């Protein structure tokens, strides 16, 4: 989303917003799908989303999208108003998801500056058919009539409130509000009941006059009006069309001919905002509806934020202000570099040699303040680029659902660690590979329900999507409890395609599984719609490698398969402990650290090869002296002068010997420069980071250090 | 629009044939100015293990981490202590930024009189020097930046031996 032309900010904004709305819409539909029921909240949500998309796409002249969203809006309007029996849920979901896909395709075209030529007529017709089907089936034709039949019964009422009841205008307003439920059209006098305090007098003197159009009988309406609180007197009569349309020559508002006014009314109510002019005639004023559009857009943004914080919370009562902006990543990069410069400049000023030996109390005080602020800026800038994986993971829900329906499988998707934060660039580049792995798991991994029952497994397959920070990597794990990989089948296939380069007998399990990642390999004989074209896994592997990651595969027959993507966290923020060795600084990811301690010569065990080990609580751990390992000059060579840090990963632990600990801080992991990486992969170094004073620290790759020992 | 194009053209024009001259010992070398992004004083350099000795390590150039190469060592000359005349020339080539540590930077000149290197018998010699530029009677050795960065095969061979 960052790379399209920034000139066209309107289009950009439209794409951004609509994409977000669609994502939200998908979530709503999927959650309804899970419950097989549309709650009132969800219906409102869909309605609102489609309403916003309709408005903004119409404004941008994308007619097909607008027509389509209008159709969906109509459908959900019906659902909301009529609340019919919900036995249609899954077919409706399919239909709406199809529409979502259509809009997505169109958005993609807009983004690529292609012609927006999609034809939604088919979908629109489908929705209309669906709607009329619903209406037919719901058996509530009578109550529907006022949506289709304009003229039914016309009445006139004059209401007098009890004297001294006060606030007649508010009471009158609530009468109108209540009438909405029974009447399709209401006109009344005095009109400005809420704005104009003078209306109170008029109502006291002349009564509150109402003309209404409804499908209810005279008695029903009469009873309804009689329920009014503090009612003193009610004049009630039937009138003819002419009298009705003459009205009081005042403001007319119409509930049935357009949803916009209703939507507007509800929306305002939710804000507890009893403005007098809330009920305006639809299509009367284009500007109004545009403003409303904007209001909705803003509302959505707030809702978005709110939902992130408290997914289940009601979030209607938020005042509309804009508090999310989108910024191009290039600008953030620039900002980050500038902050780096700022920090260095700060250090240059504060540690300026000219200041040496001077007693400057006030200067020091201000300097501390400055350092505090620059620190905060640095933290802030670093965290801005990071976004949680949750959106990416949530997308997989949709894929699993769609495929389950097509393939007739029952699969549950479990998501763990979605709050793990990864740099935006990386998220963009792992989405496709991840999608592929999930598809593979659904398609090839999980067996059909019958097959599973035969094997004595639960009918529901489970796919787990997990993310976690593991030292310098983010691990993303796709695990299924399906049939697992068939080693013989893989070998046979690899042999056929001439992919085997070493002795088969010598190959370890993981080496065999790795064959799957080679180009031109696909184990599934039946190519399906979703996967199995033989171009899959090697592309995944290539994509992951291109960002410096790797894939490992574990599998057990009939137990399942686990694919682990190790994604480097270039730019990902980790908590690190800085160690000093000679003049060099090294950083260890804090998560790997078990403990730090001092020791003495006596507790060190040396084997005949000169390898040092230490006994801690009855366990023996190898020691790596960083100065020797990285050939750094240091004065601290006596084991009792330095400090030992025990680090562990994947259940293995080693001890690292350094001169001293510098302290803990959040660091942004940067990869080593391209030029250096071209020489060789440096063992034991995962990357580097900038320290607060602008100097560079090397980040230790704990996993590879353990491996070396 | 056209103004910008003209500017770009002019810029290219002004860069053509212009060389940044730096010195190592008594020799003067030139590199094409189009590769040079900036010249900075000597910085704090963080050593990176397992690299050839002429790669001194990495340094922080305003938040960007760049490798630095000591050109003296690259040319197999004796190492020399850095002083305040020592410079790092930051070049941008093949999408990479690399810092070159040199004894000092002297000038930027336009060199038009460029001749081929005389054929030498000894192998391996002058493999980073592309051409010879002449300014009056003086000679400047014009470097091949790409080779400076990529020509590692022979080094690796030597390491093995």
Give the ipTM of the model, two decimals please.
Answer: 0.78
Cβ-based contacts of B59 with chain A (< 8 Å): 696
Q: Which of B50, B59, B149 sits opposite A682 (nearest CB)?
A: B50
Cβ-based contacts of A629 with chain B (< 8 Å): 49
My answer on whether omega of the bond before A190 falls inside 30° of 0, hence cis, is yes
Q: Which of B47, B64, B98 sits opposite A675 (nearest CB)?
A: B98
| pLDDT attached to residue A277 | 41
The CATH code belonging to domain A9-138 is: 1.20.120.160
Average per-residue pLDDT for chain A? 75
Model confidence at A148, pLDDT cuts 50, 70, 90, reads: very low
Domains of chain B: 17-160 (2.40.50.180)
Residue A6 pLDDT > 60, yes or no?
Answer: no
The fold adopted by the segment(s) A329-384 is Helix Hairpins (1.10.287)
Model confidence at A203, pLDDT cuts 50, 70, 90, reads: confident
CB pair distance less than 8 Å for B66 and A682: no
| pLDDT attached to residue B98 | 92
CA-based nearest residue to A481, from A460, A502, A467: A460
- Find the range with the poorest average confidence among A274-283, A355-364, A503-512, A528-537: A274-283
The CATH code belonging to domain A147-257 is: 3.30.70.1110
Which residue did the predictor score with more confidence, A316 or A169?
Answer: A169
Cβ-based contacts of A670 with chain B (< 8 Å): 65
CB pair distance less than 8 Å for B63 and A340: yes
Cβ-Cβ contacts under 8 Å for A449 (sequence gap 6 or more) = A408, A409, A410, A459
- Under DSSP, the state recorded for A689 is E
| pLDDT attached to residue A366 | 92
Q: Which of B46, B63, B98 sits opposite A695 (nearest CB)?
A: B46
> Which of A209-218, A248-257, A518-527, B132-141 has the highest average model confidence (pLDDT)?
B132-141
Between chain A and chain B, how many beta carbons pairs sit less than 8 Å apart? 77
Q: What is the pTM of this model?
A: 0.47
> Which of A90-94, B33-37, B60-64, B110-114 has the highest average model confidence (pLDDT)?
B33-37
- Find the range with the poorest average confidence among A335-344, B16-25, B114-123: B114-123
A residues 328..347 contacting B (CB < 8 A): 336-341, 344
Model confidence at A279, pLDDT cuts 50, 70, 90, reads: very low
User: Same CATH topology for A9-138 and A147-257?
Assistant: no
- Residues A577 and A592: their CA atoms lie apart, in Å, by 10
Averaged pLDDT for residues B102-122: 81
CATH class of A573-708: mainly beta
Residue A385 pLDDT > 70, yes or no?
Answer: yes
CB pair distance less than 8 Å for A679 and B47: no
Averaged pLDDT for residues A299-320: 44
Q: Nearest residue on chain A to B56, judged by CA atoms?
A: A676
Tell me the nearest-neighbour CA distance from B145 into chain A, angstroms: 13
- Find the range with the poorest average confidence among A279-283, A291-295, A324-328, B155-159: A279-283
What is the torsional sign of CA A196, A197, A201, A204? positive
B residues 29..88 contacting A (CB < 8 A): 44, 46-52, 55, 58-60, 62-67
Model confidence at A371, pLDDT cuts 50, 70, 90, reads: confident
Query: A695 CB near a chain B CB, below 8 Å?
Result: yes
Q: For chain A, which residues make up each domain, given as ranges?
A: 9-138, 147-257, 329-384, 394-568, 573-708
Cβ A696 vs Cβ A703: under 8 Å: no
Q: Which of B46, B49, B67 sits opposite A631 (nearest CB)?
A: B49
Query: B123 CB near a chain A CB, below 8 Å?
Result: no
CB pair distance less than 8 Å for A696 and B50: no
CB pair distance less than 8 Å for A676 and B55: yes
Residue B159 pLDDT > 60, yes or no?
Answer: no
What residue spans of A408-535 are helical by DSSP H? 424-440, 449-454, 487-496, 509-514
Q: Which of B55, B62, B65 sits opposite A696 (nearest CB)?
A: B65
| pLDDT attached to residue A274 | 41
CB pair distance less than 8 Å for A339 and B65: no
- Residues B75 and B25: their CA atoms lie apart, in Å, by 11
Averaged pLDDT for residues A666-679: 77
Residue A503 pLDDT > 80, yes or no?
Answer: no
Best residue in A584, A586, A679, A689 for a mutation probing chain B (most B CBs within 10 Å): A679
Structure token digits, residue A363: 């200067």
Cβ-based contacts of A631 with chain B (< 8 Å): 49
Catalytic residues of A: 51, 73, 440
| pLDDT attached to residue A369 | 92
- Residues B5 and A658: their CA atoms lie apart, in Å, by 56
CB pair distance less than 8 Å for B63 and A688: no
CA-based nearest residue to A698, from A646, A651, A630, A635: A630
Give the pLDDT confidence of A575-604 residue by residue, as tens digits: 789 999 988 899 998 878 889 999 888 888
| pLDDT attached to residue B13 | 66
| pLDDT attached to residue A547 | 67
Residue A657 pLDDT > 80, yes or no?
Answer: yes
CB pair distance less than 8 Å for A682 and B51: yes
Tell me the nearest-neighbour CA distance from B41 into chain A, angstroms: 15
Which residue did the predictor score with more confidence, A633 or A242?
Answer: A633
Averaged pLDDT for residues A401-427: 83
Query: B94 CB near a chain A CB, below 8 Å?
Result: no
CA-based nearest residue to A658, from A629, A690, A622: A629
Residue A299 pLDDT > 80, yes or no?
Answer: no
Three-state SS across A330-358?
HHHHHHHHHHHHHHHHHHHHHCCHHHCCC
The CATH code belonging to domain A394-568 is: 3.30.565.10
Give the helix, strand, coil percentages of chain A, each rounded to 5.
50, 20, 30
Averaged pLDDT for residues A403-410: 82
Model confidence at A7, pLDDT cuts 50, 70, 90, reads: very low
CB pair distance less than 8 Å for A697 and B46: yes
Helix, coil or strand: residue A167:
coil
Structure token digits, residue A30: 């999927």
- Find the range with the poorest average confidence among A429-433, A496-500, B23-27: A496-500
CA-based nearest residue to B31, from B95, B84, B108, B103: B108
Cβ-based contacts of B62 with chain A (< 8 Å): 337-338, 340-341, 344
Tell me the nearest-neighbour CA distance from A29 into chain B, angstroms: 45
- Residues A267 and A299: their CA atoms lie apart, in Å, by 10
- Find the range with the poorest average confidence among A58-67, B15-24, B75-84: A58-67
| pLDDT attached to residue B67 | 92
Residue A645 pLDDT > 90, yes or no?
Answer: yes
Residue A292 pLDDT > 70, yes or no?
Answer: no
The packing angle between helices A89-111 and A121-138, to 10°, is 160
């Amino acid at each position: 989303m960052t790379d399209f032309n920034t000139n066209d900010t309107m289009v950009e904004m439209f794409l951004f917003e609509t994409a977000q709305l669609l994502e939200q819409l998908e979530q709503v539909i999927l959650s309804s799908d899970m419950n097989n029921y549309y709650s009132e909240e969800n219906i409102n949500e869909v309605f609102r989303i489609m309403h916003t998309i309709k408005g903004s796409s119409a404004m941008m002249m994308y007619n097909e999208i607008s027509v389509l969203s209008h159709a969906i809006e109509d459908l959900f309007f019906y659902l909301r108003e009529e609340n019919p029996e919900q036995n249609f849920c899954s077919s409706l979901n399919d239909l709406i998801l199809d529409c979502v896909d259509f809009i997505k395709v169109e958005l993609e075209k807009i983004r690529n500056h292609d012609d927006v030529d999609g034809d939604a007529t088919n979908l629109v017709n489908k929705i209309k058919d669906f709607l009329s089907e619903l209406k037919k089936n719901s058996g509530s034709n009578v109550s529907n009539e006022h949506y289709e039949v304009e003229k039914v019964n016309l009445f006139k009422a004059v209401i007098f409130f009890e004297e001294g009841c006060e606030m007649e205008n508010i009471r009158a307003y609530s009468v109108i509000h209540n009438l909405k439920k029974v009447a399709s059209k209401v006109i009344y006098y005095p009109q400005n009941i809420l704005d104009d305090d003078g209306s109170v007098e008029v109502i006291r003197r002349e009564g509150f006059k109402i003309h209404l159009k409804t499908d209810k009988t005279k008695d029903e309406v009469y009873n309804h009006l009689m329920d009014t609180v503090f009612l003193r007197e009610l004049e009630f009569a039937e009138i003819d069309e002419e009298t009705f349309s003459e009205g009081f020559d005042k403001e007319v508002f119409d509930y049935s001919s357009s949803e916009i006014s209703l939507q507007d009314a509800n929306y305002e109510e939710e804000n507890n905002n009893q403005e007098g002019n809330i009920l305006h005639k639809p299509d009367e004023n284009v500007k109004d509806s545009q403003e409303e559009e904007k209001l909705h857009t803003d509302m959505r943004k707030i809702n978005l934020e709110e939902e992130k914080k408290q997914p289940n919370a009601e979030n209607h009562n938020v005042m509309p202000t804009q508090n999310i902006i989108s910024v191009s990543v290039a600008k953030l990069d620039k900002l980050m570099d500038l902050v780096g410069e700022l920090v260095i400049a700060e250090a240059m000023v504060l540690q300026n040699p000219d200041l040496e030996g001077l007693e400057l109390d006030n200067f020091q005080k201000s300097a501390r303040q400055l350092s505090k602020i620059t620190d905060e800026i640095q933290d802030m800038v670093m965290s801005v680029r990071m976004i949680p994986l949750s959106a990416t993971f949530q997308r997989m829900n949709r894929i699993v659902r769609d495929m389950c329906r097509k393939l007739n499988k029952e699969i549950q998707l479990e998501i763990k660690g979605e709050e793990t934060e990864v740099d935006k660039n990386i998220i963009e580049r792992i989405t496709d590979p991840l999608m592929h792995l999930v598809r593979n798991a659904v398609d090839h991994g999980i067996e059909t329900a019958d097959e599973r029952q035969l094997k004595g497994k639960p009918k529901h397959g489970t796919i787990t999507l997990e993310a976690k920070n593991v030292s310098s990597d983010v691990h993303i794990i796709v695990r299924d409890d399906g049939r697992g990989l068939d080693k013989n089948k893989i070998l046979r296939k690899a042999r056929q395609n001439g992919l085997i380069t070493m002795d088969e007998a010598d190959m370890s399990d993981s080496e065999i599984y790795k064959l799957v990642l080679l180009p031109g390999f696909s184990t599934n004989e039946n190519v399906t719609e979703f996967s199995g074209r033989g171009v899959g896994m090697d592309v995944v592997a290539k994509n992951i490698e291109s960002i410096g990651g790797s894939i490992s595969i574990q599998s057990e027959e009939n137990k399942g398969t686990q694919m682990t993507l190790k994604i480097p966290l270039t730019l990902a923020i980790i908590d690190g402990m800085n160690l000093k060795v000679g003049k060099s600084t090294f950083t260890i990811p804090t998560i790997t650290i078990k403990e730090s301690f001092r020791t003495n010569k006596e507790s060190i065990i040396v084997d005949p090869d000169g390898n040092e080990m230490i006994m801690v609580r009855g366990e023996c751990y190898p020691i790596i002296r960083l100065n020797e390992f990285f050939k750094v000059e240091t004065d601290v060579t006596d084991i009792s002068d330095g400090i030992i840090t025990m680090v562990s990963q994947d259940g293995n632990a080693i001890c690292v010997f350094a001169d001293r600990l510098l302290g803990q801080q959040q660091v942004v992991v940067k990869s080593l420069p391209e030029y250096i990486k071209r020489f060789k992969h440096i063992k034991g170094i995962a990357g580097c980071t900038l320290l607060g004073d602008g100097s560079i620290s090397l980040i230790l790759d704990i996993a590879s250090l353990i491996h070396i020992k | 629009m056209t103004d910008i194009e003209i500017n770009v053209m002019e810029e290219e024009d002004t860069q053509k044939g212009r060389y940044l001259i730096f010195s190592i010992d008594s020799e003067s070398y030139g590199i094409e100015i189009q590769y040079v992004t900036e010249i900075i004083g000597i910085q704090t350099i963080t050593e990176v293990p397992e690299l050839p000795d002429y790669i001194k390590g990495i340094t922080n150039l305003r938040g960007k981490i760049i490798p630095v190469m000591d050109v003296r060592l690259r040319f197999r000359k004796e190492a020399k202590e850095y002083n305040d005349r020592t410079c790092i020339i930051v070049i941008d080539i093949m999408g990479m930024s690399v810092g070159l540590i040199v004894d000092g930077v002297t000038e930027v000149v336009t060199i038009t009189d460029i001749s081929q290197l005389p054929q030498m018998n000894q192998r391996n010699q002058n493999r980073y020097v592309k051409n010879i530029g002449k300014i009056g009677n003086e000679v400047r050795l014009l470097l091949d930046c790409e080779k400076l960065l990529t020509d590692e095969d022979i080094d690796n061979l030597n390491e093995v031996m």
